[in-house]
Amino acid sequence: MGMSETFFGPDFDQLQRQDPEIARLLITELDRQRQNLQLIASENFTSPAVLATLGSTLSNKYAEGYPGKRYYGGCEEVDKVENIGIERAKELFGAEHANLQPHSGASANIAVYKAFTKPGDTILAMSLPHGGHLTHGSKVNFSGSWFNVVSYGVRQDNELIDYDELRESAIANKPKMICSGATAYPSLIDFEKVRAICDEVGAIMWVDAAHFIGLVAGKAIPSPVPYADVVSFTTHKVLRGPRGGMILAKAEHAAAIDKAVFPGMQGGPIMSAVAGKAVALKEAASTDYQAYAKKVIENAQALASALEDEGMRAVSGGTQTHLALMDIRGTGVTGKVADMRCGLAGITLNKNAIPFDPETPAVTSGIRVGTPATTTQGMGLPEMKEIASLISRAIKDGEDEGKAAGIRADVSALTARFPVYPRA
Ligand code: DSN
């Protein structure tokens, strides 16, 4: 057994005997996560405790319905798990209702549409090229095919949401629902303003908080929960839980949300993931996690500023969250080339459109970098400077194999100082 394998439990021996092909890939992926720099803003290293739930026999159980109201027998134990998770979510976020069953963020969003709208209804949501999400009305997604989604964006001068434009559009279009939330917006959203607009036009206020809910859980940024009718999110980003989705709602919408999730949109919940969500919620209620959430933002700010020192520009003037969107036109390469060169140098990040991007979405003028994973590793401000310098070197020289090898060695030396899933 090699060093990497020691992280996996005893059952891993069985997997290795039975299916060495897949077992080997589990090891090489773990090695990749350990050795490279993980800067995808939506990724994190979940805890061994959460991973234990995902590899558990809860995966075997069908549990259509909700605790105490299931369609199959034998749900006594999983009922307890789900109830604990629901109570933890309500407590942590001060929410009146919680549903832990959505399989993913996109599933959670489908349930939100199903609970509050009918196909053909008008929705207002942030445009994808300005940082929104596929499920916020992209033409290639169900949301854009089935709904009349009117997009709003950021102002060209400050790259912040234009609340005046949003209000005017809401008055003109009379949407059934207004969605706030994004995947590449480095600033905070003014939920009080959005609530006022929703009240003015009688729209449901939906916040897709997937990217920043972990910062809310850690009390590092203001919460949308007191304002929104419904808040959907994924559980695996800053929140550091298992891959999956969750919905919080006002009590008056509880029945509609539960019905929209099951039987409206899903069959049986993945109970192993529901258990993982419960564990992550307990972890997120700790003071350690609150310190982590603050550190994630400090690191993102330090990284953005160090990348500016390397000749890139932070969109919207910096960041107040876990991610920075960098306009890299000053480096002379596109987002696509930068992404590829960083990959060759052992740095995982993604190309990203910047607002009013002159390049196509497949090319882009930007990169998105996030600090949830490196902060979980224990990295701090000095390491953010080091990372910025590594990114800059990679963008310049990543396609020169000799130089890329040197950057990869420096990346490995850095990540080795902050081991993830430490070897026994
Ligand atoms: N794929 C996620 C992200 O990276 O932002 C959004 O779903």
All structural domains of the chain with their residue ranges = 54-284, 299-417
Distance CA 350, CA 209 (A): 20
In the predicted model, is pLDDT for residue 343 greater than 60?
yes
Residue 8: predicted pLDDT: 79
* Contacts of residue 397, Cβ cutoff 8 Å, sequence gap at least 6: 341, 403, 404, 407
| pLDDT computed for residue 424 by the predictor | 65
Residue-wise pLDDT tens digits, 162-197: 999 999 999 999 999 999 999 999 999 999 999 999
What number of other Cβ atoms are within 10 A of residue 36's Cβ? 18
Q: Between vectors from CA 136 to CA 313 and to CA 123, what angle results, nearest 5°?
A: 125
pLDDT at 1: 43
Active site residue 237: yes
- Hey, what's the torsion of the CAs at 353, 357, 361, 366, to 10 degrees? -40
Catalytic: 234?
yes
Instruction: Report the alpha-carbon distance of residue 84 to residue 101 in Å, rounded.
Output: 13
Percentage of the chain beyond pLDDT 70 is 98
Give CA–CA dist 268/261, Å, rounded.
Answer: 10
CB 132 within 8 A of CB 210: no
Confidence of residue 149 (pLDDT cuts 50, 70, 90): very high
| Assigned token pair, 285 | 């209620």
Match 């959430």 to its residue by tokens. 293
What's residue 3's pLDDT?
A: 47
CA distance readout (Å), 375 to 219, 299, 306, 372? 16, 7, 16, 5
Residues 6+ apart with CB under 8 A from 158: 316, 317
Q: What pLDDT score does 7 carry?
A: 74
Question: Contact at 8 Å (CB) between 357 and 129?
Answer: yes
Is 177 in a helix, a strand, or coil?
strand
Q: Which fold has domain 54-284?
A: Aspartate Aminotransferase; domain 2 (3.40.640)
Pocket mutation for ligand 1, best pick of 40, 126, 130, 183 (most atoms within 8 Å of C-beta): 183
Task: Indicate the pTM of the whole model.
Answer: 0.97
If DSSP codes are grouped into helix, strand and coil, which group holds residue 22? helix
Whether cis (ω within 30° of 0) applies to the bond prior to 263 is yes
Alpha-carbon span 416 to 423, nearest angstrom: 11
What is the CB < 6 Å shell around ligand 1?
A: 42, 105, 133, 183
Active-site residue flag, 329:
no
Q: What is the pLDDT of residue 6?
A: 62
Per-residue pLDDT reduced to its tens digit, 351-393:
999 999 999 999 999 999 999 999 999 999 999 999 999 999 9
Residue range 299-417, CATH number: 3.90.1150.10
How far apart, in whole angstroms, are the C-alpha atoms of residue 311 and residue 151? 32
2: pLDDT strictly greater than 70: no
Token look-up 């919460």 returns 223
Percent above pLDDT 90 for the chain: 96
Atom of ligand 1 nearest to the CA of 41: 4
Give the pLDDT confidence score for residue 10 in this predicted structure. 75
Q: Would you list the DSSP string of 95-146?
A: -SEEE---SSHHHHHHHHHHHH--TT-EEEEE-GGGT--GGGT-TTSHHHHH
Task: Specify the pLDDT at position 4.
Answer: 55
pLDDT digits (tens, 9 = 90+) for 230-270: 999 999 999 999 999 999 999 999 999 999 999 999 999 99
Would the pLDDT of 11 be above 50? yes
Q: How far is the CA of 171 from the centre of ligand 1 (A)?
A: 30
Specify whether 118 is catalytic.
Answer: no
Pick from 288, 228, 280: nearest CA to 84: 280
Q: How far apart are CA 76 and CA 68, in angstroms?
A: 8
Distance CA 11, CA 282 (A): 26
DSSP, res 316: G
> By the 8 A CB rule, do 350 and 328 touch?
no
Mutate to test the pocket of ligand 1, among 38, 39, 42 (most ligand atoms within 8 A of CB): 42
| Catalytic one of 62, 114, 259, 399 | 62
Q: What does the alpha-carbon distance between residue 310 and residue 415 come to, in Å, rounded to a whole number? A: 21
Q: How many CB atoms lie within 10 A of CB 352?
A: 25
Side-chain-side CA neighbours of 326 within 13 Å: the count stands at: 37
Indicate if 243 belongs to the active site: yes
Say if CB 387 and CB 37 are below 8 A apart. yes
- What is the CA(42)–ligand 1 centre distance, in A? 6
Q: How far is CA 113 from CA 126, 135, 157, 297, in A?
A: 15, 10, 32, 31
DSSP 46-59: --HHHHHHHTSGGG
